[in-house]
Structure 1
Amino acid sequence: MPELSVDAPLDGSGAPGPAGLGEPVVRVRPAWTASLSLSTLAVFMAFMTPIQILLPLQLEHIDPAHKSTALAWVTGAGALIAVVANPLAGALSDRTLSRWGRRRPWIVGGALAGAAGLAVTAAQHSVLGVALGWCLAQAGLNGMLAGVTTPVADTVPVEQRAEVSGWTGIMQSFGLVLGALLTTLLFTGVWSGYGSLALLTVALALPFVLRFPEPVLPRALRPALDLRGILAGLWISPRAHPDFAWAWLTRFLINLGNALGTLYLLFYLTDSVHYGDPGTGVLILTVIYTLFAALTAVPVGRISDRRGRRKPFVLISCAVMAVAAVLLAFVHTWTAAMAAAAVLGAGFGVYLAVDQALVTQVLPAALDRAKDLGVINVANSGPQVLAPALAAPIVAWLGGYTALYLATAVVTVLGGVLVRNVRSVD
């Protein structure tokens, strides 16, 4: 493979070297960040709204006596698909020679496939059918996610990365707010809810794809299109890349805590808080959470960029999120739930901005950025597989919601402590 010089002339992507494979040196414009944020909003709206609202309502109608177990199976199956689809799509994106670049075809194609999966899910009337439809949606949306997450590493210089990650990060929670508003106020039926998400997923992906071209990967630099080699490359040795491994484990544990805390939120409001309208309650808590995440993500991201430090902010964010979990564990009231949402949002906003910037600084190779970020994203989706298996017995036999949220706090704090083992980033 030809040797890549990071001092080569700019190719228009904001990064030196062919196809933007070197370290980016030119700050991205606000319009670039805004368009990428819209694409990120699209994919997380399509991910989170079904998990938090549509799937619980659909499964409660299909099998009310076993709604918790059905939700655990469906979300767990979808997350298992995500574990495979995201890094695989990333590896294929790294090898894409399209004249539209490496990322944009996957953003559009994934959006279309994800929208089709949402439509299939909406049409199902059995738990198995819902699971199969959701798996199809997860496969497409994870292809889109592979294209959406990599441009930050491809194009944004390190000294701007936490700020941009703050903007894209808050789109994760804002996606749920927008999706919740659509599905609880405008499109209240299951079919119309899924349909509106499908249309918006495609529409919001288009501004970034149509407005911002990216360089084409030279054929001479493309990694081999060998399935066995691609699959082997999904394993990144912790011995060879310890900082990557510690960053992965940190993210896995923090997202496991988040998954444990949010999976049964609708049922928590119903069964423990006894809130009269739990669907609306989830929406209110999500709005509070998103507001406080927005208040912290970008400002703290700028501070992190200016100081060149990431790990202290990750530690602080985990401590704050653990406080919110402890509050939910011991005070089962609506007022406490709102306070916890505010605290959790503030902590998670910091985490979203700073951890994503940290991760992009420990990627093993420029040619494999999308694949490596796909492996990192397994730490997002993997907990969705594990959380139902842990949460269901905790709620049923090991102490109910108090034990569940205490487990959330412990796992979150552990994730924050382990980030200290990352050596190449301050």
Structure 2
Amino acid sequence: MTTSKGTGTPSGPTSSTAAFAEPTQDVGKKWIFAVILVNVGINTSFFGPIQVLLGQQAIAFNEEGKEGILALVTGAGAAVSLVANPLFGTFSDRSISRFGRRVPWVFIGALLGTIGLLGLTVAPTVAAMMLLWCLVQLGCNGALAAITAAVPDQAPVHQRGTIGGLASMGTVIGILLGAAVGAVVAGNFALGYVLCAVALVAGMVPYLFYSNDIVLRKEDRPPFTWPAFVKGFWISPRLYPDFAWAWITRFLVNVGNHMVTLYLLFFLRDAVGFENPEFGVLILTGIYAILTLVTAVIGGRWTDKVGRRKPFVIGSSAIIALAALILAFAPTWTGALVGAAVLGIGYGAYLAVDFALLTQVLPHAESRGKDLGVINVANSLPQVIAPLIAWPLVTILGGYVTLYVAAAIIGLLGAVFVVKIKGVD
């Protein structure tokens, strides 16, 4: 595979053999940097709203019903993402644009997400808020599916742990920027949405110039039939057990993680009694982000060096569960600081190493986008499930202690099931 070192024109091979083959040539720094920036933009647009802005808007609509509004809006958006990820991944697998397979969908996804974010600034009702957040999820998950598939398209296996760690930097920086936006706008959630939209567009632009995306010729594109298209979204656990166990592991860890972070603003406000909860979210996210960046890079390089993935996934999942227990039994500002630090240590290593593991259990090279889209459902579905679990736990069944203990148990199950994967050490 040829690598563009600084041009904006796709220069990769144009044959389907190259498009579907395992890459062997290392990718360059400009490409990696561009991938990181896309992740920064997408995750700022995800987590700025999820961590602070949607909560502020829910309070503006109905102070007493804020938990239910936030659960409804985030759950509906996550339901859309369940479809968007594999669907956009499939579209990108089959795209024959002269710009490559993945670039058009990064662009289209970012455009839709930007429209949704700007629309949220003037949403007049909860229903409008929900629909516009669904549009944000549709677009951003479409872009995410495409950029995720670009990694196994172009990066060889021995680079994927490192790239997974560096791409995780984009994720964490996006989370931190999202929290910063929430704190800086000081309750002006409309301005916050505008800043998230700017971050989304700015993060996409460099990838358009340095993508080196592989072009698929029309004659090499697999034939299309509707039955095969629909059937393709089902990946048999019997035929591909490693893929199934990897999916279940990621699903469980993410359910636990979303349960921890969903009500963080309300946790600081109502349980800890922190005077400025938006600023508190920023501080906790900053601690989490710094440690996630460190452990993502270290963990990614370490797993590439030793050639093993599972021990890192197991260990990091257990550390994430420990963070939830700290929040459960130390609902103080000090406890929150320690919990954020522990969560960052665990989640950074998890993001880097689990991504590398997943790229090694994909069933088919010609459908990487679709298969990773199915994997990304394990990121999106927890956003639907977690609010449904968290809301009754907080409001009816014991409050935040019950919530965080349940999150820890669910996350630990992910560590247990990763041992079932046989094809990866």
Name the TM-score, length of structure 1 as normaliser: 0.95
Q: Which residue pairs with 2:320 in the alignment? A: 321
Q: Which residue pairs with 1:253 in the alignment? A: 252
Q: Which residue pairs with 2:222 in the alignment? A: 223
> Within 5 Å, which residues of 2 pair with 1:147-166?
147-166=146-165
Offset, 1:319:
1.2
Q: Which residue pairs with 1:347 in the alignment? A: 346
Q: Residue 401 of structure 1 aligns to which amino acid in structure 2?
A: Y
Q: Residue 366 of structure 1 aligns to which amino acid in structure 2?
A: A
Paired residues of 1:39 and 1:205 also in contact (CA < 8 A): yes
Q: Which residue pairs with 1:394 in the alignment? A: 393
Q: Which residue pairs with 2:8 in the alignment? A: none
> Within 5 Å, which residues of 2 pair with 1:195-214?
195-214=194-213
Task: Output the CA distance in 1 between the equivalents of 2:14 and 2:396.
Answer: 54
Q: Which residue pairs with 2:421 in the alignment? A: 422
Q: Please identify runs of 4+ aligned residues in structure 1 that moved more than 6 A.
A: 14-17
Offset, 1:338:
0.4
Q: Residue 207 of structure 1 aligns to which amino acid in structure 2?
A: P
Q: Which deviations, in whole Å up to 9, do the C-alpha atoms of 1:47-90 show, x marking residues without a partner?
A: 11101111000110011110000000000000000001110010
Task: Output the CA distance in 2 between the equivalents of 1:27 and 1:378.
Answer: 29
Q: Which residue pairs with 2:280 in the alignment? A: 281
Q: Which residue pairs with 1:35 in the alignment? A: 34
Paired residues of 1:16 and 1:25 also in contact (CA < 8 A): no
Q: Which residue pairs with 2:44 in the alignment? A: 45
Q: Which deviations, in whole Å up to 9, do the C-alpha atoms of 1:197-254 show, x marking residues without a partner?
A: 1122112101011123322112233123333322221111111111000000000000
Q: Which residue pairs with 2:93 in the alignment? A: 94
Q: Which deviations, in whole Å up to 9, do the C-alpha atoms of 1:300-348 show, x marking residues without a partner?
A: 1111001110000001101111111111110111011001100110000
Task: Output the CA distance in 1 between the equivalents of 2:379 and 2:98.
Answer: 31
Q: Residue 162 of structure 1 aligns to which amino acid in structure 2?
A: G
Q: Residue 184 of structure 2 aligns to which amino acid in structure 1?
A: L
Compared with structure 1, are the counterparts of its residues 121 and 231 closer, same or farther at alpha carbon in structure 2 (3 Å cutoff)? farther
Task: Output the CA distance in 1 between the equivalents of 2:66 and 2:421.
Answer: 41
Q: Say whether residues 1:194 and 2:193 are aligned partners.
A: yes
Segment of structure 1 superposing worse, 219-228 or 125-134: 219-228
Offset, 1:187:
7.8
Q: Residue 27 of structure 1 aligns to which amino acid in structure 2?
A: D
Q: Which deviations, in whole Å up to 9, do the C-alpha atoms of 1:124-156 show, x marking residues without a partner?
A: 121111001101111111111111111111111
Q: Residue 215 of structure 1 aligns to which amino acid in structure 2?
A: I
Task: Output the CA distance in 2 between the equivalents of 1:379 and 1:26.
Answer: 30
Task: Output the CA distance in 1 between the equivalents of 2:109 and 2:226.
Answer: 20
Task: Output the CA distance in 1 between the equivalents of 2:14 and 2:167.
Answer: 20
Task: Output the CA distance in 2 between the equivalents of 1:186 and 1:328.
Answer: 27
Q: Which residue pairs with 2:138 in the alignment? A: 139
Paired residues of 1:273 and 1:332 also in contact (CA < 8 A): yes
Q: Which residue pairs with 1:312 in the alignment? A: 311
Q: Which residue pairs with 1:6 in the alignment? A: none
Paired residues of 1:14 and 1:25 also in contact (CA < 8 A): no
Task: Output the CA distance in 2 between the equivalents of 1:275 and 1:258.
Answer: 22
Paired residues of 1:19 and 1:218 also in contact (CA < 8 A): no
> Match of 2:424, SS?
coil
Q: Say whether residues 1:61 and 2:64 are aligned partners.
A: no
Q: Which residue pairs with 2:7 in the alignment? A: none
Q: Which residue pairs with 1:292 in the alignment? A: 291
Q: Say whether residues 1:115 and 2:111 are aligned partners.
A: no
Task: Output the CA distance in 2 between the equivalents of 1:245 and 1:302.
Answer: 26
Paired residues of 1:27 and 1:156 also in contact (CA < 8 A): yes
Task: Output the CA distance in 1 between the equivalents of 2:75 and 2:227.
Answer: 27
Task: Output the CA distance in 2 between the equivalents of 1:257 and 1:290.
Answer: 18
Task: Output the CA distance in 1 between the equivalents of 2:186 and 2:210.
Answer: 30
Q: Which deviations, in whole Å up to 9, do the C-alpha atoms of 1:177-211 show, x marking residues without a partner?
A: 11222342258522221112112211210101112
Q: Which residue pairs with 1:4 in the alignment? A: none
Query: Which stretches in structure 1 are left out of the alignment for 5+ residues?
Result: 1-8
Segment of structure 1 superposing worse, 214-223 or 192-201: 214-223
Query: Which stretches in structure 2 are left out of the alignment for 5+ residues?
Result: 4-10
Paired residues of 1:111 and 1:201 also in contact (CA < 8 A): yes
Q: Which deviations, in whole Å up to 9, do the C-alpha atoms of 1:232-277 show, x marking residues without a partner?
A: 2111111111100000000000000001111111111111111111
Paired residues of 1:324 and 1:344 also in contact (CA < 8 A): yes
> Within 5 Å, which residues of 2 pair with 1:334-413?
334-413=333-412
Task: Output the CA distance in 1 between the equivalents of 2:185 and 2:18.
Answer: 43
Paired residues of 2:117 and 2:194 also in contact (CA < 8 A): yes
> Within 5 Å, which residues of 2 pair with 1:76-91?
76-91=75-90
Q: Residue 249 of structure 2 aligns to which amino acid in structure 1?
A: T
Paired residues of 1:15 and 1:22 also in contact (CA < 8 A): no
Q: Residue 269 of structure 2 aligns to which amino acid in structure 1?
A: T
Task: Output the CA distance in 1 between the equivalents of 2:411 and 2:133.
Answer: 28
Task: Output the CA distance in 2 between the equivalents of 1:411 and 1:269.
Answer: 23
- Calculate percent identity across the aligned residue pairs: 46
> Match of 1:224, SS?
coil
Task: Output the CA distance in 1 between the equivalents of 2:83 and 2:106.
Answer: 17
> Match of 2:346, SS?
helix
Compared with structure 1, are the counterparts of its residues 284 and 192 closer, same or farther at alpha carbon in structure 2 (3 Å cutoff)? same
| CA RMSD after TM alignment | 1.6
Paired residues of 2:16 and 2:216 also in contact (CA < 8 A): no
Q: Residue 157 of structure 1 aligns to which amino acid in structure 2?
A: P
